[in-house]
A and B are shown apart, each in its own frame.
Chain A
Amino acid sequence: MTEFIPSTNRVKKLLDNLKERALTNRSDEWFCEEDFKKSKEKVFEDYGFTNDKEYFKRPVIERKAIAIDIMLRSMTDPEVSKRTHTYEIEDGELIVGVMPMASNGLGKVFPNYLSEEEKRAASYTNKTELAILGHNTVNYEKLLSKGIWEIREEAREKTEQYEKEIDSFKKENPDFYKNIDRMETISIMQNSENTPMLTRHNELVSKREFYNSVKISCDAVINYMDNFAKLAEYESKRTDIKIRQNELKKIAAICNKLSIDKPTTFYEALQCVYFFHLAMHASMNLISLGRLDQSLYSFYKEEFDKAPNKQAFRAKATELFECFIIKCAGRLNLTTEFLVEQDHMDNNAALGVHPYYLDQRAGVNNFLQNIIIGGLTPDGNDAENDMTHIILNAYANVNLSTPGIYVRMGDYSSADLRESVAKCLHQTKNLPGILNDNALVPAIHEVLDKYETTDEGRKKAEKLANDYCVDGCWEPILNGECDWTFQMISCLNMFQCAINQGAVLDTNDGMLRGSKVSFRSPQVHTYKEFKESFKKYMQFFIDQAVFTMYDCYTMDEFVTPSPLFSAVLGQCMERGRDKSWGGTGMNIAGVILTGVPDTINIIAAFKKFVFEKQMYDIEEVKTAMVHNFKVPLEADFQRQVLWNQIKNNFDYNCAKFGDASDEIKEIGNFVLNSLVEIVDKSKEFSEKVFLNSLKDESPENVNLIRRLRQIAGYSGSCFKRKFGNDFCLRFTAGCGTFEGYPQQGLGVVATANRGLNDPLIANFSPAPGSIKNGIGNVFKTLSQLPMNKMSAGAITDLCINESGVDYTDVQSIIDAFISNNGCMMTLALGDIKVFQRMYDLSKDLLYGNETQKAIARDELPKYRDIVVRVGGWQAPFISMNLDQQANYIARFVSTPCTKEN
């Protein structure tokens, strides 16, 4: 492999500055409503609004586009920037533009664009302007091949074209337009099924609004780039250092060019990606950076081939990429002291209709941005290129927690890539995450293929599967081609319902049998009965999830349209439809089970001790679980001994997820195959209810389907009519918790290897402390499970003691993971003593006396470079909450025996 080259002094300085800034109180840098005032006045003037009322008369999508304009203008307002620092170029920077403060955990700030009445109506579904999912990536190839200006021009032309079509339609149908307002009312009342004229009118108007919104939002980005060109020119005149002067002039030239043309060099392409990424994040779509080694490679190669000094050009490209990473990480918070002041979250429900429910602290430094490298080309060839290695080199040097990085690997991966990845992981101790194409490509392909009926469609499905990437967490998506949503469902709830007649065990005895979350069923007495019952509850909860995803799709259009995003996503521009209106052409909807390893472990315990050996009565075990295996009356000594024995047997004397036993193989296959089978059944049923037109159905079926829609709380027309004939949600299945495992464990009774309220096991990993037979057997466990059906992913997070581990050991672990058909993996290397020290200091910072706090403040920054996995993403360990830290410490496994230990 090509040896990694070290960072330049410029990069080191920029990195140090970022980390220093991240240790300060950043609450002042956040935008507030007042900051938008001046830009809003200017924008209103430009669009001819004299007051808010006129603005709120415009369709939501146009209001959103105008709000993007207000946001980006405010970001380059010199007065506002004195506090937000968003209109600055730092000394030494090569990539420019500043993202406004925001994060998955702390929230976002954006100019208000929903009217008061819209907000009141949205309170019913907890939809707010912040209820925008992000979790996706744009089509960067399209962006780079066209440039923003060309996309803007395309949108302008289409806007004008639809203006004309609307005019013609009006002239051709004067009678229709006399009654247009009344017709709209009728159409809503009659579900639009029988109003073709109105449908046509709505379509023309919506397309015009969409293209106009794309144009407005592209103009906003272009204006932003112009402003940075001006700033770079201004700064170039202020500096006496010739080299820096030239750099700033070049930056200005690039910004100027990108505002009117497409990029042609590697540097321009990288700046173009950053500008668009920044605009997406500024408009609240926290999204990923996609397969950058693919989208940037042609720009790099063309210059590299011509470069007289290839080594120097490669080094410069590495430096530029490191500058790019640092820019993307600009919103870091490395101290936890000022987080409450920065909490900008509201009740938004980005998924479903429940208020925001997330471990915010774990997401403080998550911006849902990843870079994916390696993998296959759409045609199925190995996609590794020199850019892949440059990006790895840059990460090995910079080692920031964000953007995350994943490498797609498979049997096809070269020895060179395997070695580079292992070296990068060994150096950074946590990056990159591994995506196994051996499992993921077939899984995604199978889902897409089942919707295709033609050879051409099947070929396309294959290409899309080969080209997959992941969003800002780890959910697989189609690279720049799909809209994506998901629902998480508790697998432990299914287990509890199955053993407790449809109720979740509850510590509140006022709930009698427990919290009734599903239908009542007969008590189970055998393992066979348990499995039958478990599947019925799985069907119940998955039906709920699948119906919710169909139902919620109808809400986005009027709350969170994304015209800028749609400009470079899927088929939106070709179809003239926003992504919230069936524009992408591909909609992926994930059904993700939480707590699967916990469920497998507790099923294994029940199977052995309750159903097969019949050592314990099921009611006694349930009572013990409710009481956390501690008898309510201390004097009840004999019962306590029994409960201790049950707990000991459940925790230690039965099969565990990760031990490669036949029991885990049987139970794991049962759970995962049931998931896939039931998702398919739910898909079919939901399509019957929501998707298809009723016109070809028998009268009997029409009545049935209408009835089913009403029962499911939906009274609109079929989705194909609303969102296009080829619209459907393609359902994928996966397992994971993301960062939510501590919260997901709250309120959950004790199970095998965890106590009442304790965190669940993170993602798809073995229970902390339960790996007794080596990591090799964890991978064998994965090889025994249907991982190539986990199209929504299932990530295994491992943490090993770094002592004595060299990069060849890391390579062995990665290779074993791949050859055993694991799905996704993160590997962290650390020193448990250091982690314990960070935990103690973090605790002191929160609860210690003044002296302890002072020591903690002084010492914690020393550990700022230690980054670990928290479920969905990487985070600096010192920024995590105590629960997360403690859980992480418990995970250390497989300490190699060395002379030192």
Chain B
Amino acid sequence: MIRLFNIGWHTKVDGPGNRVVLYLQGCHLRCPWCHSPHSWDMKSSPLLFLEKKCTLCGQCVKACPQGVHRIENRKHFIDRSKCTKCGKCITACPNSIANSMDGALSLPTTEIPVEELYSKIKPQLDMFKRNGGITLSGGEALLQKEDVRELLLLCKRDGISTCVESSFTLPPQAYESVKDCVDFWLAGLRDTSFGLANFRNDETIIRNIRIVAGHCQKIYARYPLIASRTTEDTHLKRFASIMEATGITEVEIMRCNPNMELFYTLSGIPCKLEQASSIPTDRQFQKACDFFESRHITVKK
């Protein structure tokens, strides 16, 4: 069974060509600029609540056996510490949709057999087989390495291009287990010292990248550009050093997501960054581009 919290049915930004992207549940890094904090928990997302869709009808209050929901003074309060994620409130809510984040209440994480998931996405994968494929993202996709491998093998069996996004900070076995069935890697390299994992050993990242490098068609590096966090030369230099050590020649600079705070609000997880001050200026972006280009690294724009 593989756990995922979303599917991007058609994207052109997560790997070459047209991709179906699976966002897998669970992440060990918890970067403060992450815009998917609901992906952190290894098992499932917390209950998400979109206040503007709530009509305060109280059906969730009646349906919930744990007393998670409370409506007072025309305001809906949620105590997630009591929530067992049974989904009864979602079923009862007239403004929520099962397996969708479009409604007032949602539990986006789905646990599904790999074969079943594959059969669900296969029509879309088949359609873009010629100029695209699948990308496994997250969270940290390889935290579910056995299921990921099973899924990737199904794709390879059917001639579908595969791509995995990873921070390359997991134990080497994770990369060894899938290296023969991944065509492209998105190396989501980052200065993780701001994350919970406190991971500082660049050698591990370099070693992991080297494990997969000889087996895939290409590795693209991705650099999160967060104002006041990753815009300084020290960060850029460290990042470029990893690229040079592993022979990665192309980088995509990812500006801080302008909707970063959304899922913190929906999930009740506190956001440690202030969104407005985290978005880099054009000047900072250009500076990063110039930096990489001066090191003969191609910047994908």
Contact = CB atoms under 8 A, between A and B. Distances in A.
Given A896-B11, A897-B10, A899-B13, A653 B98 contact: yes
B12 interface: yes
Interface stretch (B37-45, B120-128, B277-285): B120-128
Contact of B126 (A645, A808, A816): A816
B82 interface: no
Interface in B89-109: 92-98, 100, 102-103
A776 B8 contact: no
Interface in A809-825: 809, 811-813, 815-816, 819-820
B9 A648 contact: no
A894 interface: yes
Given A644-B57, A780-B123, A813-B127, A772 B10 contact: no
A713 interface: no
A412 interface: no
A59 interface: no
A641 B131 CA distance: 47
Given A808-B130, A816-B126, A774 B10 contact: yes
Contacts of B18: 809, 812, 896
A897 B127 contact: no
B95 A773 contact: no
A775 interface: yes
Nearest to B128: A812
Nearest to A819: B126
B20 interface: yes
A812 B95 CA distance: 36
B222 to A, nearest CB: 13
B59 interface: yes
Q: Which interface class (under 10, 10 to 19, 20 to 34, 35 or more) fits B? A: 35 or more
A519 interface: no
A660 interface: yes
A816 B127 contact: yes
Contacts of B130: 808, 811-812, 815
Contacts of A644: 55, 57, 94-95
Contacts of B129: 812
What secondary structure prevails in chain A residues at the interface with B? helix
A898 interface: yes
A496 B273 CA distance: 55
A387 to B, nearest CB: 28
A779 interface: yes
B126 A653 contact: no
Nearest to B14: A897
B123 A779 contact: yes
B124 A804 contact: no
A782 to B, nearest CB: 10
A897 B8 contact: yes
B123 A660 contact: yes
A806 to B, nearest CB: 9
Contacts of A894: 9-10
B285 to A, nearest CB: 13
A776 B125 contact: yes
A652 B105 CA distance: 14
Contact of A812 (B97, B102, B131): B131
A436 B100 CA distance: 34
A776 B160 CA distance: 14
Contacts of B13: 897-899
Nearest to A647: B94
A777 interface: yes
A188 to B, nearest CB: 61
Contacts of A819: 126
B12 A808 contact: no
B94 A776 contact: no
A773 B59 contact: no
A776 B126 contact: yes
Contacts of A897: 8, 10-14
Interface string B137-181: 000000000000000000000000000000000000000000000
A140 B140 CA distance: 63
B261 to A, nearest CB: 19
B124 A648 contact: no
Contacts of A774: 9-10, 20, 121, 123-124, 127
Contacts of B131: 808-809, 812
A652 B100 contact: yes
Interface in A785-812: 804, 808-809, 811-812
Nearest to B100: A652
Contacts of A641: 57, 59, 94
B123 A777 contact: yes
A773 B97 contact: no
Among A647, A816, A820, max chain B CB count under 10 A is at A816
Contact of A775 (B7, B100, B124, B132): B124
Interface string A637-648: 000010011011
Nearest to A778: B123
Nearest to B21: A897
Contact of B94 (A648, A775, A816, A896): A648
A647 B121 CA distance: 28
Contacts of A772: 9, 100
A894 B9 CA distance: 8
Interface string A756-784: 00000000000000001111110110000
A777 B12 contact: no
B127 A775 contact: yes
Contacts of B124: 773-777
A895 B92 CA distance: 31
Contacts of B12: 804, 896-899
A471 to B, nearest CB: 30
B258 to A, nearest CB: 12
Interface string B1-24: 000000111111110001010000
Contacts of A648: 93-97, 103
A812 B125 CA distance: 10
Nearest to A895: B10
A812 B97 CA distance: 31
Nearest to A648: B94
Nearest to A646: B94
Interface in A501-552: none
A773 B9 contact: yes
A776 B123 CA distance: 5
B234 to A, nearest CB: 27
B59 A776 contact: no
Contacts of A804: 12
Given A777-B123, A780-B123, A812-B131, A645 B10 contact: no
Contacts of A660: 120, 123
B94 A773 contact: no
Most chain A CB neighbours (cut-off 10 Å) among B10, B11, B103: B10
A143 B196 CA distance: 80
A855 to B, nearest CB: 32
A896 B57 contact: no
A804 B7 CA distance: 19
Nearest to A899: B13
Contacts of A808: 130-131
The winner among A775, A776, A894, A898 for most chain B CB atoms within 10 A is: A776
Contacts of A813: 127
Contact of A773 (B55, B103, B120): B120
A812 B264 CA distance: 37
26 contacts: A644-B55, A645-B93, A653-B98, A773-B120, A774-B9, A774-B123, A774-B127, A775-B124, A776-B123, A776-B125, A777-B120, A804-B12, A808-B130, A809-B131, A811-B130, A812-B132, A815-B127, A816-B123, A895-B10, A896-B12, A897-B8, A897-B10, A897-B12, A897-B13, A897-B14, A899-B13
Considering the complex of A and B, which 5 residue pairs feature the smallest CB-CB distances, nearest first? A776-B124, A776-B123, A644-B94, A774-B124, A774-B9
Given A644-B57, A776-B124, A812-B132, 19 more contacts: A648-B103, A653-B97, A653-B98, A773-B7, A774-B9, A774-B123, A774-B124, A775-B127, A779-B123, A804-B12, A808-B130, A812-B127, A812-B128, A812-B129, A896-B18, A897-B12, A898-B11, A898-B13, A899-B12
